[in-house]
A and B are shown apart, each in its own frame.
Chain A
Amino acid sequence: MAATEAADGPVGAELRGWGWRHAGREMWALRGVDLTVAPGERVLLLGPSGAGKSTLLHALAGLTGDDASLTGDEEGTLLVGGRPARDARGRTGLVAQDPETQIVMARAGDDVAFGLENRGLGAAEIWPRVDTALSGAGFPYGRGRATAALSGGEKQRLVIAGTLALRPGLLLLDEPTANLDPAGAALVRDVLAGLGGVTMILVEHRVADVVDLVDRVVVVEPGAGVVADGAPGEVFARRGADLAARGVWVPGREPSPAVTAAVPGPPVISARGCGVRAPGGPGTAEAPDPVRHVDADLADAAVTALTGPNGAGKSTLLMLLAGLARPDRGEVVPAGRLAEADPRPLHRWPARLLARHLGTVFQHAESQFVTARVRDELRFGPLRTGTGHRAADARADDLLARLRLDHLADAHPFTLSGGEKRRLSVATALATAPDVLLLDEPTFGQDARTWSELVALLAGLRDSGHAIAVATHDERLLAALADRVLPMAAGALATEAVR
């Protein structure tokens, strides 16, 4: 089944009554899909979470079947360039969300060469094509560049180069900018905008960012097929309200909550001259210190936002302010009413005391789950910090209802959807009724509905007197919620901005 080197040029796709059911599931992810994509078209595929958009892209890439990465039941026909997708694999290219799990090799040139090697090509043909693909994807370095030293946006450009080197006729993009900061996302969009001679099917939640790249929008429905299809303006006029209500970030219909600014209270946590050295050890890169020298306060009854590009030290500083990591230089001390609990630097507080007064929400919600049941997850904190069983149950019930998790009380936390995991991780941090809440990229990858709920919840907490810190590069979140913004660059604070 060797992928053949077919003629160049864009290829189309045709689906008739196509459906897919994941192995072991009762519900069809998609069913009755009728769709014709002409060669050279640029299509944005939209739908609510769980509508099987990624599955459709993987099927188009020929990655379904018994010995493939996606197993399940398939019905109807799916043709790429007039052939079954499995046989047309040599003509399709797939770019997924996270560049970290797509780069195979340690050097940029070798990574682009990887796909060409798989095609059985020789070195004489491989390297000219590598160079062409690298420059075509706007990759700013040479072949020898270490992939580990690239930024997120540069890595994704490299992934695109590795795909373009195979001269695909159909390019499938599964949320290619979702894991990148705004600057990285812009790098990738610029490359995609300049591509020619290839059909493009794109899945992306942040619609406004990519709507200019496409000439057609197709909306799919979970368990069903195509429910809207046409030019972007036309589709959004007809289905925009419905899509927005179901969490899709429709341009012009993004949530814009009316949150009044707060008057920051006295500091509750102070970082004084804090620095963190890069983690060392044999074989690790000699990286610059993630936090060099920071003096910062978290104010009571206010939202303090740490911003800046990836790698600026936001998350590291947040972990210091949360008392979780120990600074290599300087110290993080409680102030005001928090100092009454224990005046020692936060990193010296016992874990139970810390969990009682400070709640931390991690970027990957799964990192912080410690039990096998949603309800136990919510009871865990209160029980650890000395609350009785009955009170812990009551607190869990209250949070389950407030965060729309009651129907999942007995589920394993790892089996929840992305939005549900995010809500649960916030709920676990709130379960001990902490004074301070610290969140690392809380809105990252969330749909518009979860986003609105989070903003309303955080605004309510702030108004009831909580100190809140968020590390984020979500501009909308900053605009809606931040009372104070601490912009970071290269491990230090740039000038502080007040909203």
Chain B
Amino acid sequence: MIGTAPLARTDAWAARANPAAKLIATLVIAAALLVAIDPVTSGIVLAVELVLLPAGGLRPRALLRLGVPLLVGAVSLGVVNTIIGTGGVWGGLGLSVRLLAIAVPGIVTAASTDPTDLCDALVQRLHLPERFAVGALAALRLLPMLAAEWRTLSLARRARGLEAGRNPLAAVRIFAGKVFALLVRAIRAGTLLATAMDARGFGTGPRGRARTSVFRPGDYALMAGALILVTAAHLVSAGFGTWRVLFTG
């Protein structure tokens, strides 16, 4: 999301969808599946998501790098809960599938969304405060610089003869020192950026819009589709008699 090489193809369907619509669809799925703990409800949603995954346009490398850790996490979560939980294999499977069904749309949304488009959508479609959204977008530009500074701070600690070795206390002290130095740098950079934005008249009055963020029919379809999908999944699971929600035992 930060660098110049996007994780997803920019001509993919998901990349052209409105970020606000993607965000809403993702949240609808997450909210609906958070309460359904049986694997059938989540399984139906996950199956549909996987069928639609090519529309996300994730590059194979990104899919591998994000998907493998997610899969490992989901499987181990299921296994651990099967062993120590009270729900047995069925309960463990429910947790795994649920995690995947919630995470997959989240990953596609994050990977296929351009930060600038997201900011425009948040301000124009979801009416978030402009000062906050534009400020956050600008701050995002400082992240690569701060990441580089973090690496430099690590090298500099070694140059000064500081190394934790196997001493956890020393490791904590060194880490705290680096955090302090990074914080100082971040505040300085943030102040300079804020001054530069002020100098270009940021916050002096109502802003105009260079780009317009619109909901197209596909965006409405996406949001409605997410709602229909989770409703259908709940109903089908109930029909099978497998439906179980949180706190019902």
Q: Which residues of A contact B (CB under 8 A)?
A: 1-3, 58, 61, 63, 68-69, 89-90, 92-94, 96, 98, 100-107, 110, 113-123, 126-127, 130, 146-149, 159, 162-163, 166, 279, 282-286, 319, 322, 324-325, 350-352, 354-356, 358-360, 362, 364, 366-370, 380-381, 384-385, 414, 428-429, 432
Interface string of B24-35 (1 = CB under 8 A from A): 000000000000
Bound-complex Cα distance A110 to B168 (A): 46
Closest-by-CB residue of A relative to B141 is A103
Known: A116-B208, A350-B163, A358-B159. 7 other contacts (CB 8 A): A96-B199, A114-B197, A117-B209, A130-B210, A356-B161, A381-B160, A432-B161
Interface centre among B7, B141, B149, B177 (most CB of A within 10 A): B141
Interface centre among A103, A106, A358 (most CB of B within 10 A): A106
B249 at the interface (CB under 8 A from A): no
Whether B161 and A146, one on each chain, are in contact in the complex, defined by CB atoms closer than 8 angstroms, is no
A186 nearest CB across to chain B (Å): 23
Residues of B within 8 A of A94 (CB): 196, 199
Whether B158 and A351, one on each chain, are in contact in the complex, defined by CB atoms closer than 8 angstroms, is yes
Bound-complex Cα distance A69 to B144 (A): 24
Whether A283 and B3, one on each chain, are in contact in the complex, defined by CB atoms closer than 8 angstroms, is yes
Total of A-B residue pairs, C-beta within 8 Å: 197
Whether A63 and B205, one on each chain, are in contact in the complex, defined by CB atoms closer than 8 angstroms, is no
Given contacts A107-B116, A110-B116, A282-B62, is CB(A118)–CB(B159) below 8 Å?
A: no
B185 nearest CB across to chain A (Å): 7
Whether A89 and B141, one on each chain, are in contact in the complex, defined by CB atoms closer than 8 angstroms, is no
Residues of B within 8 A of A103 (CB): 141
Residues of B within 8 A of A123 (CB): 208-212
Given contacts A101-B189, A120-B208, is CB(A367)–CB(B200) below 8 Å?
A: no
Given contacts A69-B191, A285-B4, is CB(A354)–CB(B208) below 8 Å?
A: no
Residues of A within 8 A of B195 (CB): 58, 63, 69, 96
Residues of A within 8 A of B128 (CB): none
Bound-complex Cα distance A147 to B141 (A): 9
Indicate which residue in B155, B181, B203, B208 contacts A369 across the interface (CB closer than 8 Å). B181
A287 nearest CB across to chain B (Å): 9
B91 nearest CB across to chain A (Å): 31
Whether A370 and B160, one on each chain, are in contact in the complex, defined by CB atoms closer than 8 angstroms, is yes
Whether A166 and B201, one on each chain, are in contact in the complex, defined by CB atoms closer than 8 angstroms, is yes
28 A-B residue pairings within 8 Å (CB atoms): A2-B204, A61-B199, A68-B198, A69-B191, A69-B194, A100-B189, A102-B192, A104-B134, A105-B138, A117-B209, A126-B210, A130-B210, A162-B200, A166-B200, A282-B62, A283-B3, A285-B4, A324-B159, A351-B158, A352-B163, A354-B161, A355-B160, A355-B161, A362-B152, A362-B159, A367-B149, A368-B156, A370-B157
Residues of A within 8 A of B179 (CB): none
Interface string of B158-202 (1 = CB under 8 A from A): 111111010000000000010001001100010111111111111
Whether A104 and B141, one on each chain, are in contact in the complex, defined by CB atoms closer than 8 angstroms, is yes
Residues of B within 8 A of A279 (CB): 151
Whether A283 and B184, one on each chain, are in contact in the complex, defined by CB atoms closer than 8 angstroms, is no
B142 at the interface (CB under 8 A from A): yes
Indicate which residue in A1, A96, A385 contacts B161 across the interface (CB closer than 8 Å). A385
Whether A117 and B207, one on each chain, are in contact in the complex, defined by CB atoms closer than 8 angstroms, is yes
Closest-by-CB residue of A relative to B190 is A101
Interface centre among A96, A283, A350 (most CB of B within 10 A): A283
Residues of B within 8 A of A101 (CB): 142, 189, 192-193, 196
Nearest 4 pairs of A and B residues by beta carbon: A355-B161, A351-B163, A2-B205, A115-B200
Q: Which residues of B contact A (CB under 8 A)?
A: 1-5, 7, 62, 65-66, 114-116, 134, 137-138, 140-142, 144-145, 149, 151-153, 155-163, 165, 177, 181, 184-185, 189, 191-212
B235 nearest CB across to chain A (Å): 37
Whether B201 and A285, one on each chain, are in contact in the complex, defined by CB atoms closer than 8 angstroms, is no
Residues of B within 8 A of A367 (CB): 149, 152-153, 156, 181
Indicate which residue in A90, A355, A366, A429 contacts B201 across the interface (CB closer than 8 Å). A90
Given contacts A102-B192, A117-B210, A370-B157, is CB(A285)–CB(B115) below 8 Å?
A: no
Bound-complex Cα distance A101 to B145 (A): 10
Residues of A within 8 A of B165 (CB): 350
Residues of A within 8 A of B212 (CB): 123
Whether A381 and B155, one on each chain, are in contact in the complex, defined by CB atoms closer than 8 angstroms, is no
Bound-complex Cα distance A147 to B145 (A): 13
Whether B161 and A106, one on each chain, are in contact in the complex, defined by CB atoms closer than 8 angstroms, is no
Closest-by-CB residue of B relative to A119 is B201
Bound-complex Cα distance A121 to B209 (A): 7
Given contacts A354-B158, A366-B184, is CB(A89)–CB(B201) below 8 Å?
A: yes
Residues of B within 8 A of A58 (CB): 195
Indicate which residue in B4, B151, B184, B208 contacts A414 across the interface (CB closer than 8 Å). B184
Bound-complex Cα distance A286 to B162 (A): 32
Interface centre among A58, A98, A367 (most CB of B within 10 A): A367
Residues of A within 8 A of B65 (CB): 282
Indicate which residue in A110, A113, A354 contacts B159 across the interface (CB closer than 8 Å). A354
A107 nearest CB across to chain B (Å): 7
Whether B204 and A102, one on each chain, are in contact in the complex, defined by CB atoms closer than 8 angstroms, is no
Residues of A within 8 A of B197 (CB): 104, 114
Whether B194 and A284, one on each chain, are in contact in the complex, defined by CB atoms closer than 8 angstroms, is no
Residues of A within 8 A of B141 (CB): 103-106, 147-148
Bound-complex Cα distance A311 to B177 (A): 28
Closest-by-CB residue of A relative to B154 is A324
Whether B192 and A384, one on each chain, are in contact in the complex, defined by CB atoms closer than 8 angstroms, is no
Whether B206 and A120, one on each chain, are in contact in the complex, defined by CB atoms closer than 8 angstroms, is yes
